Amino acid sequence: MANRGGVIEGAFHFDEMFQEYVPTVSTAFTLNRNDLKDLVCSPFYEVSGPALREAIKSGCAIIYVTGNPGCGKTSTVSYIIHEVRPDVKVVIEQPRRYLAEKAAEFAGHPRAVFVHGISNNIKDATSETCVVFYTPGLGRALLEGVQPENVVAVFDEFHLANLSTLRCFRYCLKMGIQCIVMSATPHPNELQRLHEYYNAQVEEGQRAEFPVSSVHFERESKFNVQYNFIDEGTGFCYTADWTRAKPMDYVEYIREKMINRVIVCLNDVLRRNIRGKILIFCAELAVMKRLRDLLNAPSNAHLVNGKKVWIFHSTYNTGSFKPEGEDIIITYNGLQDGLTIPNATVCIQTCTSRITSGFNLHRIDRLQTVPSSSVDLILQSGRVGRDRIGYVYSIQSPGSYNALRNAAPTYFNVENIDSDAEFVQGCHEGDELFHAQDFYGNHIKMETFGDLQISLTADGAISAITGRHTVLAQLIGIFSYLSVPAAKLVWWSIFFGVESYGILLAAIISRRALRNS
């Protein structure tokens, strides 16, 4: 790849490589080192910094950083880059939701500065500042003459399923740009896949050592934060207390977080004045007792705003006390196998365990039992009776908003409802569109044809197809990652009843698309 007059040329076309990220305004700005230092708490930096500082300073090709949302990955990485490589131009690739987040949620966090600082031009950079780019920051930096050796590409909220980000990542490796990959919900095989991508970009024998450094640090409480900083290469674990206060136990923090979200959902239900009993099932006795304390009632039946609320342990045998068609179900960490929910109006499920594979979800009016398997987020809805539409509530545990990325529910495929309590009106056969948002903030369109349902992203790509064609749905999920036309071809072939021809043609198109990518 040639470098002529400070402008990089070669087998890379800006519009094609970053077609999803072409900006309408300048996306570069400067961030003063002293300002950033004030945003990073010194105890964490002094104790937890050595492993990451050494990896960045040594020019490690790929540095893999994981940790749950809000734990400080971006702020720590940014500050250490400022310290050990003040001459570089840092590229923050933000392919996901943070641009739309409220800055108040990141008070005292560098990302809040990122959100409000998109103004200055790259030419404002000095040795005392670090130029931070939003996507397409890398393409803009290279087009404006920044040399690859002066760039550190930081992929925040990186996910291999994001093809545009993946292309950018592979391009960085090809250019010799140091990559720092951060993910709150890493796939178990993602680190190995990053290594494979690296080996594919370098000449044989050029690098003998394993080029990926893996670091993990975790935020255990919003206010009293215990950080763990683990260098898997050396096995050392560094810990520091963010506030110098006794950190809250992680399990207790999760409990409090989920209790708060149950209360938010409960308030939302009461505000909407939905008919029926409110049943809360808790997986842990501690959570059940805590909720009872919050509601100031010693017995199972609590009167909240004039409405009765029952709180049970999830293993409680309800016996003759069965939910009815208009009841509101709130569950914490799932329900015991065998507990029936016939035609429940609302089902709220809160979970804290993490999964990495897909699972099936069923409509409530077809549901006899709710499996007690560990899932992060369950979205359930459907037609209740002849005249009513069910409601969906979703509650997420910290650090697990990516759980449903590869899920394939039988009826509904809402990839992300990322709020404490989100009210979503369900749909049924005959509805034309169902609107939700995916991780990128795009609106998902869901179209139903009899028992067949196709989920489309905003640009028309098929994100999921569900219904009776289970095997075909899985094939389309694969094809849609490789070629949108191929996925659409299978979709229409199913619709017209010529599945075999559609699959054959889609396989050919996808193979060509993969070969040309």
How far apart (Å, rounded) are the C-alpha atoms in residues 14 and 319?
64
Name the token pair of 224: 């009293």
Percentage with pLDDT > 70 across the chain: 12
Residue spans of alpha helices (H) in 40-145:
42-57, 73-84, 110-116, 137-143
Query: Tell me, what's the pLDDT at 181?
Result: 77
Which DSSP string do the residues of 458-481 spell out, in sequence order? TTS-EEEEESS-HHHHHHHHHHHH
Q: What is the mean pLDDT of the chain?
A: 46
Asked if the 3-241 domain carries CATH number 3.40.50, the reply is yes
Write b or e for each residue in 200-221: b if 16 or more Cβ atoms lie within 10 A of its Cβ, otherwise e.
Answer: ebeeeeeeeeebbbbbbbbbbb
Respond yes or no on whether the N-terminal peptide bond of residue 136 is cis (omega within 30° of 0): yes
CA distances from 304 to 296, 331, 362, 498 (A): 10, 18, 30, 56
Q: Is the dihedral of CA 289, 292, 294, 298 positive or negative?
A: negative
Report whether 84 contacts 178 (CB < 8 A). Answer: no
Given a cut of 50, whether residue 246 has pLDDT beyond it is no
Of residues 499 and 401, more confidence is placed in 499
pLDDT digits (tens, 9 = 90+) for 211-236: 444 444 443 333 222 333 333 333 22
Range name among 204-208, 324-328, 421-425 with the lowest pLDDT average: 421-425
How far apart (Å, rounded) are the C-alpha atoms in residues 145 and 265?
51
Q: Compute how many other C-beta atoms are within 10 angstroms of the C-beta atom of residue 103.
A: 13
Report whether 425 contacts 451 (CB < 8 A). Answer: no
Helix axes 285-294, 250-272, angle to 10 degrees: 50
Q: Which amino acid is at 511?
A: R
Of 379, 403, 404, 408, nearest to 477 by C-alpha is: 408
How far apart (Å, rounded) are the C-alpha atoms in residues 309 and 270?
10
pLDDT digits (tens, 9 = 90+) for 88-119: 666 555 543 333 333 333 333 333 233 222 22
How far apart (Å, rounded) are the C-alpha atoms in residues 499 and 319?
47
Q: Compute how many other C-beta atoms are within 10 angstroms of the C-beta atom of residue 485.
A: 15
Query: Tell me, what's the pLDDT at 110?
Result: 33
pTM of the model: 0.34
Given a cut of 70, whether residue 428 has pLDDT beyond it is no
Q: Where are the domains of the chain?
A: 3-241, 249-427, 429-517
Ranges 29-38, 240-249, 360-369, most confident: 29-38
How far apart (Å, rounded) are the C-alpha atoms in residues 304 and 259?
16
How far apart (Å, rounded) are the C-alpha atoms in residues 244 and 507?
58
Of residues 208 and 6, more confidence is placed in 208
pLDDT digits (tens, 9 = 90+) for 16-58: 333 332 222 222 323 333 433 333 433 334 444 566 677 777 7
Per DSSP bridges, beta strands 226-231 and 212-217 are antiparallel
Range name among 28-37, 304-313, 486-495 with the lowest pLDDT average: 28-37
Q: Compute how many other C-beta atoms are within 10 angstroms of the C-beta atom of residue 419.
A: 12
Name the token pair of 357: 């594979």
* Residue labelled with tokens 């034309």: 432
Q: Is the dihedral of CA 343, 344, 345, 350 positive or negative?
A: negative
H/E run at residue 154 = strand 151-155
Given a cut of 60, whether residue 193 has pLDDT beyond it is yes
Residue spans of alpha helices (H) in 176-217:
190-201
Query: Tell me, what's the pLDDT at 284?
Result: 64
Q: Which amino acid is at 54?
A: E
Residue spans of alpha helices (H) in 217-307:
250-272, 285-294
